[in-house]
Amino acid sequence: MAKTELTDRVGEIIEASTTEFVAQCYELYQSPPLGSLVKTRDREVELYGIVYNAATTSLEPGRRPIARGKDETSEEAVYQTSPQLSKLLRSEFGAVVVGHRQGDKLYHYLPPNPARIHGFVYLCRLEEVKEFSQSFDFLNILVNARVPVSADELIAAALRQMSQAHEDPHTFLVAAGKELAILLSGQFNQLKAILGRLK
Amino acid sequence: MTERLGIVVTGSLEKGVEVKLDGSVSVEDMAVGRYVTIEGQKQRFFGMITDVSLGVTDPKLTLTPPDVSDPFITEVLAGTGTYGTIRVSPYLTIGGDATTLLEGPQAVKTIPSHFSVVNPASQSDVELVFGSEDEKRFYIGTPLDMETKICLDLPELVKRSNGIFGKSGTGKTFLTRMLLIGMLQKSAAVNLIFDMHSEYGWAGTSEGGKMVKALKQLFPSKVAVFTLDEESSRRRKVSTDFVVRIGYDEIEPEDMGLLRQTLNLTEPAVEAVYQLHRRFGKNWVQSTLDLKDSEESKELLKETSIHESTFQNLQRGLQTIGRLPFLMPHAPDNAVKRILNYLDQGMNVVLEFGRYTDITAYILVANLLTRRIHAQYRDRMEKAIGEDTARPTPLVITIEEAHKFLNPEVASQTIFGTIAREMRKYNVTLLVIDQRPSGIDAEVMSQMGTKITCLLDNERDIDSVLAGVSGKSELKSVLARLESRQQALIFGHAVPMPVVIRTREYGSPKSYQDFVSGGPAEPKEQTEKDIEELWE
């Protein structure tokens, strides 16, 4: 197991359920990319999730940001002249739980308990991504996940991300594609859409 | 290590099992007639591919095909959304349980379970099934896309009558010649060959017109060439051992029955032969020919109640026979005795017909000689059984144009029909060569032990050859896809399962060397070496 360092930390959980968790980023706009593998810890169980959504909103739900850049020359200048902005806004991201690790064993199915609030969320390193993606069992969870983004987009993004952890991304994608072809054997159009996004 | 082909997904014993190919295996690499092994849970199965097909998991794929120019999509779909299947007929079980380990491959009585792994058959598997060349087995050819030798168990083969079939020009003669060489080397049988086109004795011609060596040139000490046409043999520079002459007094009434069709004899005319024979005895042919249109003959016809037109019909027929130059009123030597003498010494006899390729001559001579020889064999065999002494050497009689002897109308009367039916009881069997197997009596066909067939394209011929074989429709598709040369399908008694072979090479100096050295020559060399060592 790769040692987790502080710099890999991307956020803190603010909402959690058995199937997914939502984390707030420590820095504005610092949410991990769509489809990336993240993890959090609940006592001795490590939970893995795949980022399906990221959003930046106002801290107070009823108060919408207003346009401020009319007299500014650049976008950065907006934040510079109103430094309070970065404290009034927040970035958060959601992740679908796709597996967990207990002891030395990696399981590609849901953990017994959901993540804990205020649990730290880390971005998985390449070796960990590679290890996790040895099995494609998580694809079944993604295919059946009820998330606001389309499953096609999410699966394609996740596989694209994971392929970068492998020496031969093409072989990895073909293998993943074959797994999808079996999962989606009756839905050729959906399969075609995902495959089209893998390139 | 052999590469895995796929897994069994469904099937039945009768129709064979269906195998889904792995994504990495291309259907284009599969071929009908190829051998595979199936690793069942308890047994290993040996089978043959009988069909190849394509499948899709989602019918939408066929309606809106994916972008085939994208290699990624094609690669993903291969083996998942789109896949190839092959149909395999399991024929034998090899290894696995105790019986097959002790007694070799057994015929299948069940099929492998679901998802059994299918591999291409390895050389050693094929060798296990068809055996390797030894003192009993003769290498006849190789499977279609392998270098393994397919061998026939010849002592087993000659125990029954066999047939070689195929359209004209497909290599029947070559196969026969090769098989005869095999029998000469590996079996205890002696051969009597009625060589209509003079191709087995000294030399034959290949399709390209090239001369190839035949039996006598390769095995001079084991083959005797008899001829009916001394002149033709001399012209072809063939050294003959004996010139066959047949006397009128050797022709018996039973010999005439078979000639009814070729001589255009009527039924009463054949009947009349028996009456004339009773009247004149041994010399009936000469006496009948001598009868002129006189008062005396009219008297005779009245006495024997033969109608005059019947008599004329018979006389015309006998005159046709009489014109055959090798027939004479009285033969100087007894051909049957001569042939038997040679056969008794373990020599094989090839009877060349020279210029007399006329079917009348062939039928008359073949039938006449075979009848006598068969009778002799029967007597000897019965005597041997009675006195419990050594039985006569098994005899294989080779006949060409077999449908003339064995067609349904005459098969029940001729000696060849009898031999084919009563088979090995008297140690005499037939090797039948024919291009129209549909013309041969079904009963005779069904009694043949092993059939070797080259390409046939007439539906009726194919049906008659394959009659009674299990998996007929699969074999039919294999048979119809044979190439027109150098390929043959063998099935029956001498092979554990039907097999398509590419026949062994014949005609090059190397091939002659192989044929000659494959025989009992080696022990002789060994003996000589031993003797030499003894004197050192």
Does B73 sit within 8 Å of A195, measured CB to CB? yes
Which residue, chain included where needed, has tokens 């399962």? B497
Residue B116 distance to chain A (closest CA, Å):
20
What value does the mean pLDDT take over residues A123-137? 92
Contact of A187 with chain B, judged by CB distance below 8 Å, is answered with yes
- Entry pTM: 0.72
Find out whether A66 and A127 touch, Cβ atoms under 8 Å: no
* In-domain check, residue A1: no
Which residue, chain included where needed, has tokens 């079944």? A140
The whole-number pLDDT of residue A116 equals 92
Contact of A171 with chain B, judged by CB distance below 8 Å, is answered with no
DSSP B424: G
With a cut of 70, list the residues of chain B below it in pLDDT: 1-2, 96-103, 187, 207-208, 293-294, 423-424, 518-536
Does B75 sit within 8 Å of A198, measured CB to CB? no
* In-domain check, residue A2: no
Contact of B442 with chain A, judged by CB distance below 8 Å, is answered with no
The whole-number pLDDT of residue A1 equals 42
CA-based nearest residue in chain A for residue B67: A192
The whole-number pLDDT of residue B96 equals 63
Contact of A189 with chain B, judged by CB distance below 8 Å, is answered with yes
Residues of B in contact with A173 (CB under 8 A): 72
The whole-number pLDDT of residue B521 equals 45
CATH architecture of the domain covering B6-130: Beta Barrel (2.40)
* In-domain check, residue A3: no
Residue A128 distance to chain B (closest CA, Å):
25
The whole-number pLDDT of residue B9 equals 93
Contact of B55 with chain A, judged by CB distance below 8 Å, is answered with no
Give the list of residues 6+ apart from residue B62 with CB closer than 8 angstroms, or none: B56
Does A186 sit within 8 Å of B72, measured CB to CB? no
Token output for B127: 């060798």
The whole-number pLDDT of residue A61 equals 82
The whole-number pLDDT of residue B2 equals 55
Through-space distance between the first and last CA atoms of chain A, rounded to whole angstroms:
30
Neighbours of B168 (CB within 10 A): 9
ipTM of the complex: 0.78
Contact of A192 with chain B, judged by CB distance below 8 Å, is answered with yes
Domain ranges of chain B: 6-130, 152-203+210-245+333-514, 249-322
CA-based nearest residue in chain A for residue B62: A188
Q: Which amino acid is at B52?
A: V
Buried b (16+ CB within 10 A) or exposed e, B268-290: ebbebbbbbbeebeeebbbbbee
CATH 3.40.50.300 for the B152-203+210-245+333-514 domain, yes or no: yes
What is the tally of structural domains in chain A? 1
Contact of A195 with chain B, judged by CB distance below 8 Å, is answered with yes
Return the percentage of chain A with pLDDT > 90, whole number: 60
Does B75 sit within 8 Å of A177, measured CB to CB? yes
Task: Report the residue from A174, A187, A189 with minimal CB separation from B76.
Answer: A174
Find out whether B432 and B164 touch, Cβ atoms under 8 Å: yes
Does A178 sit within 8 Å of B23, measured CB to CB? yes
Task: Report the residue from B23, B72, B81 with minimal CB separation from A188.
Answer: B81
What value does the mean pLDDT take over residues A132-157? 91
Interatomic CA distance for residues B120 and B118, integer angstroms: 7
Of the pLDDT bands very low, low, confident and very high (cuts 50, 70, 90), residue A2 is very low
The whole-number pLDDT of residue B533 equals 64
The whole-number pLDDT of residue B100 equals 61
* In-domain check, residue A80: yes
The whole-number pLDDT of residue B522 equals 47
Does B57 sit within 8 Å of A198, measured CB to CB? no
Which pLDDT tens digit goes with each residue over A78-118? 888 888 888 889 999 999 999 999 988 999 999 999 999 99
CA-based nearest residue in chain B for residue A169: B72
Provide the domain limits for residue A55: 8-198
Q: Which candidate, B151, B45, B20, places its Cα nearest to that of B95?
A: B45
